[in-house]
Amino acid sequence: MKDICVLILAAGYSSRFWPLKDKHFVNFLGKPLIYYSISQLSRLGFTDLVIVVNKNNKSQFTNFKEEFLNTSFTFVEQGEINGMAGAVISAAKYISGKRLLIIGPADVYEDTLFDSFSKMIKTHPDGILAGTTVDKYFPGGYLTVNNGRVIKITEKPKPDAVPSNIVNFVFDYIENTSLFLDTLAATSSKKDNNYEEAIAYLLARGMNFRYLPYKGYWGYLKYPWHVLSVSSFFLEKLNGKKVKKAEIADTAVIDGNVVIEDNVKIMENVKINGPSYIGYGTVVGQNCLIRESMIGSNCVVGYSTEIARSHIGNNCWFHHNYVGDSVIANNVSMGAGAVTANFRFDEKSISSVVKNKKIDTGKVKLGAIIADSARIGVNASIMPGIKIGEKSIVGPAVLLDNDLPDGKFCMFDKK
Amino acid sequence: MKDICVLILAAGYSSRFWPLKDKHFVNFLGKPLIYYSISQLSRLGFTDLVIVVNKNNKSQFTNFKEEFLNTSFTFVEQGEINGMAGAVISAAKYISGKRLLIIGPADVYEDTLFDSFSKMIKTHPDGILAGTTVDKYFPGGYLTVNNGRVIKITEKPKPDAVPSNIVNFVFDYIENTSLFLDTLAATSSKKDNNYEEAIAYLLARGMNFRYLPYKGYWGYLKYPWHVLSVSSFFLEKLNGKKVKKAEIADTAVIDGNVVIEDNVKIMENVKINGPSYIGYGTVVGQNCLIRESMIGSNCVVGYSTEIARSHIGNNCWFHHNYVGDSVIANNVSMGAGAVTANFRFDEKSISSVVKNKKIDTGKVKLGAIIADSARIGVNASIMPGIKIGEKSIVGPAVLLDNDLPDGKFCMFDKK
Amino acid sequence: MKDICVLILAAGYSSRFWPLKDKHFVNFLGKPLIYYSISQLSRLGFTDLVIVVNKNNKSQFTNFKEEFLNTSFTFVEQGEINGMAGAVISAAKYISGKRLLIIGPADVYEDTLFDSFSKMIKTHPDGILAGTTVDKYFPGGYLTVNNGRVIKITEKPKPDAVPSNIVNFVFDYIENTSLFLDTLAATSSKKDNNYEEAIAYLLARGMNFRYLPYKGYWGYLKYPWHVLSVSSFFLEKLNGKKVKKAEIADTAVIDGNVVIEDNVKIMENVKINGPSYIGYGTVVGQNCLIRESMIGSNCVVGYSTEIARSHIGNNCWFHHNYVGDSVIANNVSMGAGAVTANFRFDEKSISSVVKNKKIDTGKVKLGAIIADSARIGVNASIMPGIKIGEKSIVGPAVLLDNDLPDGKFCMFDKK
């Protein structure tokens, strides 16, 4: 794989991921998501990585870059042109003339995808597009395939107009990168989907693009609640108990596959049900119950708190809380008695509003999505699927049943 | 006792028992109340039972009928005429010509009542009316007695006009059932109390009805909170610890007389104070405290919940709750942080509204009465003595200080 | 010290101490504050105590007076004249002609103060005024000192007009008490500061008053939250574990310096972090967490309550509460789910309103101050620094963000 250049698209922000920020740097098991992509590529023999970054996340790669001694990293800041096309064009001078594998944004797949890829590339196609079959509508690009050859690519069709059940994700191989770059430059505009247009153009010109069918786990971070399923994917990979230099009370019970990092303190009568992960320096107070959750570093999960099936960032503070099926970013604190509701009275699946449109999350249990540095007051009640913006404050005793934008204070309404 | 036919009145609904339903099928220690009546009659040698049922509860007898091999059961659905008189008339063809003991509705007494009865019946009276002396006013029928003979029956006198301190409960023996049926037919009307009128008529004609004084425990389900005292009666009969095929954490502490049924799971650090009963398949989560309570089958008493002096039905869900001195029917769920208040600030006894009238329950501690399939939102606060109707919903963060009728949704009031 | 008469000023009430009452009888480690003053004086050899009391606290001295066999107690009720001057004048006939040490009101200092005092008195000054240096403004009297001699006393200067960094506290020695009494009588009026005026007069007449510098702990109860620092002072003096005739569950963990008095019951899975004190007959329910707190006698700290860095009086009831950095007087009860918030969202120091003026408490963590016999409803939320008056009621689900005067009921606002 040494002669294939991998282009990782890690520059984009997505408003659909609000209130969470950079998908690539959501942490799982103590490392950002993009660490796992790079680690996977390195393990499978790719050594030439070109990464399109943005000015905010650029510096964060330095935290782990050194771990990959045999890998060559080239970082490119995305230029003026938006979207995936713009990202590829920004990297032109580092990829031109190379065979190119384009990866991103923020997808997770198993090594088997690469196994299939390395077999297929030996057949010398003009390109490879990976995809997976879906049971129900997915709002993405669809491939029309004939005898293993991709005939057509259809970007975001309406649910009643899907051309196939094959959804394409960004794992695209291009034999002739220079031609692709020329095509992109020709079609490039402000349009959202000119990356796909360029591929469609090549297909229309009769190039032999093969369909790489993938049947393993495909994780993606399109909406913020997707963090929960990716989190579960990583948790389910845990195998056995790993407790490092932690201080654990005799009466704490740790059940199943659980990783506990250095400097963790677990107080009396805590119960941790695996699979769970407790990050560096986190304190779990007396009587807490943690079930199938991932908790970041330097958190205080204070006395009498239950965290169930949730993903918690770093430096968060809880006490006397119930946090269920929720995604909590970094530096968030919750006052005593604040709870996340995670279940509708009518037991229907929970909706969430994204860009002014109510969409069905498909989840019957879903709590809150809380962004960095938010504060939740004592005895606040946060309704299922509600999202709370960065640095926002939910006042004490508030019943929050609408999303709260970034930087807002929602106070209890008194007459 | 084989030659005495027992007529059990189990058809009636009572609006005073709202929001709870059929008194006879409230469960105690895993069996419906009426099971205990039948069991008691069977144990004491009665073999001919005629049971007046309604179309809803008829089928429920099949769950346990088979246990009483030597007992003959006749089920009669009540006809058009209302009340106790209607019930007796409905059963006419099965009881006519027999010596008759009429029992019900939904009373509980100890075996000693039957001992006295079997002695008294040897004196061949025309009838026997049981009663008990009361210290303070009880809204029922009163007996005037002279030398052991009942002179008069007064139905529901005003508190300042009670003729005696002997309250009659329905444990009435009639020697000449045919004559009684004729009398009932003659006086029968839509009136509430023509059963008593018929007996009064027989008394006035000079028939020798004896007063059977009873001094033991008399339990009744007139108002829904009476479930609590009947529940205590059954709990106090528990003797020792009975744990069946249950899974109990080493750190759980079970103190006093406690029955734990099959398939129960008791998690770490749970404390159960007897007398208590935990029904089949129920899960008691980490750190819960259960004190002097009866909990039905297949419940989940989730993490950090306290249930004190309460009666809980089947299939209920709790977590992070305080439930004190409350009656909770079946299929009820409470969100995290929802609590029942069970004590007035002024420490006075708690009132409850029944049929638009505020009545004093006589209880200084009383929580909520919650009917089947109700849902209570997170952080809701339910005031003492409040009743919540079937399938009703108390929204999150609601302060509920009025009864909520069946099928209603009480939302948090925002401006 | 036998020839020095000590005048203890224990009559005054201070509205700045609202909602708490008599400072001298706030309990610490089971004894009123004034007990420690008397005990300290007795231990250091003072045997002639004149105590100015008021009609309410007079009788309370009898509870412990007997312990001090070698001490002569004289109680004087304060007469008509207000303030410290009035207090001294009231005691005139018991102190006149004696060498006099005036102490109070409700200050706490270490024995080292007396050591310095006994050395200094050997130099035969006309008077001694004790003081301590402060880093930042303190609203009290300031001393101007030259070569160890007090030149001037300035009562409550504005922050920008302090004459020195030496704050005077009431530990004043007067050689010629008769002269002082005459001076007081001459200046005496309704004015707040004529005590200081009298001393200033003596200084102006050239009398040799020495400055007694004190560097140890100086505790005072000016504002009600000062109870917390005095409480910490007493707790930090605890050394080792002292458990008397208490019933303590095997699974309870008691960590650090903790005193547990007779008849205490500590239930399963309780954790007590020292330094802490649990008073006579108090029950600590299952799973409670008590951290660095002082809890009075006959309290019930019910199931699942956390009390952190707080001072709790006698006969208080809690369950399912979080009480942090709070002062709770006697006979207070809190319903399930009621919590004290103790931290601002902006992490600034917490203010409290005293006599209609917002003052900065200087504390980043401060909960509630709750007076005798208050009642807090279920799920109530009390904001940082809020004070609740005697016999007041905070209704269920109330968000209390203003002080509640004595005897008031604050209800939840519904539309």
Which residues of chain C are within 8 Å of residue A320 when distances are taken between CB atoms?
Answer: 306, 322, 339
Which residues of chain B are within 8 Å of residue A379 when distances are taken between CB atoms?
Answer: 337, 379
Would you call A341 and B267 a contact, using CB atoms and an 8 Å cutoff?
Answer: no
pLDDT in tens, B308-344: 999 999 999 999 999 999 999 999 999 999 999 999 9
pLDDT for A8: 96
Neighbours of chain B (3+ CB pairs under 8 A): A, C
* A116 token code pair: 């299939």
pLDDT for C414: 63
Helices (H), ranges, C276-319: none
pLDDT in tens, C79-95: 777 788 889 999 999 99
Whether pLDDT at C370 is above 70: yes
Q: State the DSSP string of B239-272.
A: -S-EE-S-EE-TT-EEESSEEE-TT-EE-TT-EE
pLDDT for C185: 85
pLDDT in tens, C19-71: 999 999 999 999 999 999 999 999 999 999 999 998 888 899 888 888 998 89
pLDDT for B65: 86
What would the mean pLDDT of A179-199 be, rounded to a whole number? 79
Judge contact between C381 and A396, C-beta under 8 A.
yes
ipTM, two decimals:
0.92
Which of B268, B337, B397 is facing A271, going by the closest CB pair?
B268
pLDDT for B413: 75
Q: How far is CA C162 from CA A352, C140, C169, in A?
A: 60, 10, 16
Whether pLDDT at B415 is above 60: no
Q: Closest by alpha carbon to C309, among C295, C325, C323?
A: C325
pLDDT for B14: 83
Query: Of B102 and A184, which is predicted with more confidence?
Result: B102
Task: Determine the Cα–Cα distance for residues C1 and C4; give it in Å rounded to an integer.
Answer: 5
Least confident of B187-191, B268-272, C126-130, C294-298: B187-191
Whether pLDDT at C190 is above 80: no
Give B96's contacts (C-beta < 8 A, 6+ positions apart): B177, B178, B181
**Per-residue confidence at A139, pLDDT binned at 50, 70, 90?**
confident
Kindly identify which residue of chain B lies nearest to residue C415, measuring between CA atoms: B413
- Each domain of chain B, given as residue ranges in start order, spans 4-222, 229-410
pLDDT for C346: 93
Whether pLDDT at B393 is above 70: yes
Judge contact between B402 and C399, C-beta under 8 A.
no
Find the angle CA(C316)-CA(C318)-CA(C322) to the nearest 5 degrees.
125
pLDDT for A106: 86
Q: Closest by alpha carbon to A387, among A21, A34, A107?
A: A21
pLDDT for B192: 59
**B interface residues, C as partner, C-beta within 8 Å:** 251, 253, 269, 271, 287, 289, 304, 306, 322, 324, 337, 339, 341, 343, 345, 379, 381, 383, 397, 399, 413, 415
Architecture label for domain B229-410:
3 Solenoid (2.160)
Long-range contact pairs involving B383-387 (C-beta distance under 8 Å, separation at least 24): B383/B341, B383/C396, B384/B340, B384/B341, B384/B342, B384/B343, B384/B344, B384/B350, B385/B225, B385/B350, B385/B351, B385/B352, B385/B361, B386/B352, B387/B18, B387/B19, B387/B224, B387/B352, B387/B353
pLDDT for A414: 63
Tokens 């000079």 belong to: B206
pLDDT for C193: 61
Least confident of A205-214, A390-399, B57-66, C268-277: B57-66
pLDDT for A197: 87
Per the DSSP assignment, residues forming a β-bridge with A273 are: A255, A291
Find the angle CA(B314)-CA(B317)-CA(B322) to the nearest 5 degrees.
110
Task: Determine the Cα–Cα distance for residues B84 and C47; give it in Å rounded to an integer.
Answer: 85
Task: Determine the Cα–Cα distance for residues A383 and A398; give it in Å rounded to an integer.
Answer: 11
Judge contact between B282 and B300, C-beta under 8 A.
yes
CATH fold label, A240-410: UDP N-Acetylglucosamine Acyltransferase; domain 1 (2.160.10)
- DSSP character at residue A234: H
Domain C228-410 class in CATH: mainly beta
Domains C4-222 and C228-410 share a fold: no
pLDDT in tens, A228-263: 999 999 999 999 888 889 999 999 999 999 999 999
Per the DSSP assignment, residues forming a β-bridge with B141 are: B155, B168
**Per-residue confidence at A190, pLDDT binned at 50, 70, 90?**
low
Which residues of chain C are within 8 Å of residue A336 when distances are taken between CB atoms?
Answer: 306, 322, 324, 339, 341
CATH code, residues C4-222? 3.90.550.10
Q: Look over chain C and give the mean of its residue pLDDT values, rounded to a whole number.
A: 93
Asked if the bond preceding C32 is cis, omega within 30° of 0, the reply is: no
Whether pLDDT at B106 is above 90: no
**Per-residue confidence at A189, pLDDT binned at 50, 70, 90?**
low
Residue type, A397: A
Judge contact between B77 and B34, C-beta under 8 A.
no
What would the mean pLDDT of B216-237 be, rounded to a whole number? 96
What would the mean pLDDT of A298-325 be, rounded to a whole number? 98
Whether pLDDT at C114 is above 60: yes
For residue B409, give how far its alpha carbon lies from the nearest alpha carbon of chain A (Å): 10
Whether pLDDT at C188 is above 70: no
pLDDT for A181: 93
**Per-residue confidence at C412, pLDDT binned at 50, 70, 90?**
confident
Q: Provide the pairing of β-strand C327-328 with C311-312.
A: parallel
**Per-residue confidence at A334, pLDDT binned at 50, 70, 90?**
very high
Q: Closest by alpha carbon to B303, among B336, B280, B272, B260?
A: B336
Whether pLDDT at B35 is above 80: yes
pLDDT in tens, C205-242: 999 999 999 999 999 999 999 999 999 999 999 998 88
Tokens 């707190």 belong to: C293
pLDDT in tens, A89-124: 999 999 999 999 999 878 999 999 999 999 999 999
Count of beta carbons in the 10 Å neighbourhood of residue A414: 11
pLDDT for B133: 95
Q: Closest by alpha carbon to B410, among B368, B349, B351?
A: B368
Per the DSSP assignment, residues forming a β-bridge with A154 are: A142
Judge contact between A52 and A170, C-beta under 8 A.
no
**Mutate: best of C271, C303, C322, C410, partner B, most B CBs <10 A:** C303
Would you call A378 and C271 a contact, using CB atoms and an 8 Å cutoff?
Answer: no
